């Protein structure tokens, strides 16, 4: 039994008791209370209906968002794995003569011929040809 049905039953009982709602103070009070209960019951039913509708809409949005996430993140994960396997670059390390910090860099930085120490800002210049000769000597 819903709240509205219970309030209707209560109103029927009050009418069946032939309570004077015009002259009696108690009758007026009971009549007003049952009217208020009926209004509250109707508002509560409206809220429950709206809550159910919002729940369905939230579920639909959640499903859509899940689809979008799977499209975005699955593609990125696949690409990152492929990129990592295909684009393995050599990484080089050097020690800054000014502050002694170890600096890591890759081929693209070497091609520019200059590395800036992140610790102190000292510019380290490299001659790429001499590094390649050193690399060749190590491999022999």
Share of the chain above pLDDT 90, in %: 26
Distance CA 136, CA 47 (A): 78
Decide the pairing of beta strands 102-106 and 114-116. Answer: unpaired
Q: What is the pLDDT of residue 76?
A: 62
Q: Are 106 and 93 in contact (CB under 8 A)?
A: no
Q: What is the pLDDT of residue 53?
A: 95
Q: What is the pLDDT of residue 47?
A: 95
| Positions of the chain with pLDDT lower than 70, given as ranges | 75-89, 110, 126-140
Q: Cite the beta strand spans of 1-140 per DSSP E.
A: 91-95, 102-106, 114-116, 123-125
- pLDDT per position as a tens digit, 100-117: 888 887 777 767 777 778
């Amino acid at each position: 039994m819903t709240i509205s049905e219970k309030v209707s039953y209560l109103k029927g009982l009050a009418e069946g008791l032939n309570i004077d709602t015009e002259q009696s103070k108690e009758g007026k009070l009971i009549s007003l209370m049952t009217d208020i209960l009926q209004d509250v019951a109707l508002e509560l039913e409206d809220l429950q209906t709206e809550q159910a509708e919002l729940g369905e809409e939230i579920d639909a949005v959640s499903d859509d968002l899940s689809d979008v996430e799977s499209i975005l993140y699955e593609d990125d994960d696949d690409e990152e794995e492929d990129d990592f396997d295909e684009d393995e670059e050599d990484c080089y390390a050097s020690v800054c003569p000014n502050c002694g910090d170890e600096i890591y860099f890759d081929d693209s930085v070497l091609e520019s011929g200059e590395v800036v120490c992140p610790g102190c800002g000292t510019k380290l210049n490299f001659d790429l040809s001499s590094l390649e000769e050193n690399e060749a000597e190590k491999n022999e």
